Amino acid sequence: MKNFFNGSATAMITPFAQEGVNFQSFARMIEYQIAGGTDALVVLGTTGEPATMTEDEKVAVMKFAAEHTRGRAKLIFGTGSNNTAKAVEATRRAEELGADGILAVTPYYNKCTQKGIVEYYRAICSATSLPVIAYNVPGRTGVNILPATAEELSYIENMAGIKEACGNMEQICETMRRIRPRMDLYSGDDNLNIPILAIGGAGVISVASNIAPKQIKDIVSAVKRGNLERANRIHEKLLPFIDACFAEVNPIPVKAGCNMIGLDAGVPRAPLTELEEGHKELMKACIKAAGIRKVKL
């Protein structure tokens, strides 16, 4: 299926306090995204650190997101797992709690075959009436959705797209060629937002937009209008900042950056650690150079 969403989505961080999730900060982050024009919020994706959260915390975050967003942006809940039965259960729960769509990362660590990938997504799609987006990020999972596999997935009725973060534009172009008539493709790598949009990507699912939602939305809008000059101008100004967002493993840098602009993100949960001092200085300088201002909500 096509056209579940077009535009910019933010892979939301989960702000933590000592006693658990900081819902006051999460509310401010949602408002900041909506004010910046973000079209969809991805909650409990990799950037949200669900691997370190209890099931009760995940349920509370999904409920809060649905109640606070109130339809002002589409809500996409992350439900992927290396256990297909667990992913199916999480998907059903996400639909019950108000998701508009599902983002499911490929099974990680198990290193299943391409056939296993297809069966995994078939099971998830069979468990819900919601649109499902596959997330291909082999650098984290050890599994790569090959173009022929993406094509097979595109024939599943409620398979709505693939978030591509494989980093290989040749592969991404071939995937786009194979799925274009039936399923959308989204950039999952902020450095490749423009080339992926330029080959027909429906939108982006961005980490950097936690801090720069308006700029990321402006890039998407400019490409959609055919104004590549404006898109490149914005993108090039942001590039050092985007690089800083990945100076250490995501979401370590982006959480530190959120703290710097006045969004109380807290710190990542162990085994992730706080951003190193040298990278903090880099992030501060890049935020300033990109013209990103303190949040006033």
DSSP 73-84: SEEEEE---SSH
Contact residues for 172 (Cβ-Cβ < 8 A; gap 6+): 164, 166, 185, 192, 196, 199
In this prediction, residue 77 carries a pLDDT of 98
Q: Which CATH architecture has domain 7-225?
A: Alpha-Beta Barrel (3.20)
**Model confidence over 51-94: pLDDT tens digits?**
999 999 999 999 999 999 999 999 999 999 999 999 999 999 99
User: Would you say residue 243 has pLDDT above 90?
Assistant: yes
Indicate which residues carry an active-site annotation.
135, 163
Res. 110 pLDDT band, cuts 50 70 90: very high
pTM: 0.96
In this prediction, residue 156 carries a pLDDT of 98
**Model confidence over 113-150: pLDDT tens digits?**
999 999 999 999 999 999 999 999 999 999 999 999 99
Q: What is the mean pLDDT of residues 212-236?
A: 97
Q: What is the mean pLDDT of residues 142-159?
A: 98
In this prediction, residue 19 carries a pLDDT of 87
Rounded CA-CA distance 47/108 in Å is: 15
**Model confidence over 1-47: pLDDT tens digits?**
999 999 999 999 999 998 899 999 999 999 999 999 999 999 999 99
